[in-house]
């Protein structure tokens, strides 16, 4: 250790005080894990990452979260996965999926006819398109729900670029219903959020998100807390859920949500 000390001090004295920018991780698709990542840059030049999950609802430490996603930009998570709560006996028992961290209500995935996703290996989703060059991902995940009226549910994510930087994310859900159904489309975050007209505004410290429904411009967001106090020790910000509600007829219905990104 004493031999290394002079070299360590030399490196410290020679340092110019500037930290190198972390490298941007490339986009990637992991078929065995049912996970894909799109990487880009924000309008301000900061790293942006979108993580999308397919897979099934019987994984180790499972959450019912097929079709969910995480949007992270400039060092903060704008749309989140709740992560694990504090572990309790109940969480590892029959009441596990009463916990909003484990059930699909705590994730940015649709609710179909009042039904959340179901646990089990048969409840699953699959990637049907992974175009990393075009920054576009598509999954089919009707089988994640025990909902006989849901014939198909196909969700796509597409990063919209201006030059080399991303200024928006489009999420498009295509529902094929055998009969009319009530549908909720939620977005989940720990950041402050509020509504302004038909816009949902998520206020990060470095990035601001404005969400609108392109397929139904008059649709209005509703915001609700998902916990009265954080269910995980050390977590200061509480989980909130903003949702749009629709009651489409039988047949095909498209719901498009546009998330516009700008520096805070």
- What's the fold here for domain 25-263? Beta-galactosidase; Chain A, domain 5 (2.70.98)
3-state helix, strand, coil in the chain (%, to 5): 10, 45, 45
Contacts of 15-23 with C-beta under 8 Å, sequence gap 24+, read: 22/47
Q: pLDDT tens-digit profile of 216-236?
A: 888 899 999 998 877 777 778
Q: Would you place residue 22 in the very low, low, confident or very high pLDDT band (cuts 50, 70, 90)?
A: low
How far apart are alpha carbons 36 and 105 in whole angstroms? 22
Residue 122: count other Cβ atoms within 10 Å of its Cβ: 12
Query: Which positions ≥6 away from 259 have C-beta within 8 Å?
Result: 71, 79, 168, 169, 170, 171, 209, 210, 211
Q: pLDDT tens-digit profile of 70-101?
A: 999 999 999 999 999 899 999 999 999 999 99
Model pTM score: 0.90
Res 3 pLDDT > 70: yes
**Dihedral Cα 121, 123, 129, 131, nearest 10 deg:** -70
Backbone Cα Rg of the chain:
20
Cβ burial 13-38 (10 Å sphere, 16+ → b, else e): eeeeeeeeeeeeeebebeeeebebbb
Burial class of 63 by CB neighbour count within 10 A (0 to 12, 13 to 18, 19+)? buried
Distances (CA, A) of 245 to 110, 119, 210: 10, 24, 18
Q: pLDDT tens-digit profile of 122-148?
A: 999 999 999 999 999 999 999 999 999
Assigned token pair, 12: 């410290």
Cα distance between the two ends of the chain:
46
Assigned token pair, 156: 């796509």
Res 246 pLDDT > 80: yes
Q: For the chain, what is the mean pLDDT?
A: 93
Burial class of 80 by CB neighbour count within 10 A (0 to 12, 13 to 18, 19+)? buried
């Amino acid at each position: 250790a004493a031999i290394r000390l002079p070299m360590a001090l030399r490196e410290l004295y020679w340092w110019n005080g500037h930290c190198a920018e972390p490298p941007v991780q490339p986009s990637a698709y992991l078929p065995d894990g049912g996970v894909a990542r799109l990487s880009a840059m924000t309008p301000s030049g900061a790293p942006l990452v979108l993580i999308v999950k397919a897979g099934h609802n019987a994984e180790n430490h499972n959450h019912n979260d097929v079709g969910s996603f995480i949007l992270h930009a400039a060092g903060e998570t704008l749309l989140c996965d709740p992560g694990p709560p504090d572990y309790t006996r109940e969480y590892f028992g029959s009441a596990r999926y009463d916990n909003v961290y484990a059930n699909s209500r705590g994730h940015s995935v649709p609710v179909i006819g009042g039904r959340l996703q179901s646990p089990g290996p048969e409840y699953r989703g699959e990637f049907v398109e992974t175009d990393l060059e075009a920054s576009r991902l598509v999954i089919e995940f009707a089988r994640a729900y025990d909902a006989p009226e849901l014939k198909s549910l196909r969700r796509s994510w597409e990063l919209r670029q201006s030059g080399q930087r991303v200024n928006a994310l489009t999420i498009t859900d295509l529902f094929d219903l055998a009969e009319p159904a009530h549908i909720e489309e939620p977005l989940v975050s720990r950041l402050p959020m509020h509504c302004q007209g038909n816009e949902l505004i998520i206020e990060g410290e470095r990035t601001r998100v404005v969400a609108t429904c392109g397929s139904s411009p008059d649709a209005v967001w509703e915001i609700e807390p998902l916990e009265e106090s954080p269910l995980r020790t050390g977590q200061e910000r509480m989980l909130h859920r903003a949702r749009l509600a629709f009651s489409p007829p039988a047949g095909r219905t498209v719901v498009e949500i546009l998330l516009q990104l700008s520096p805070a």
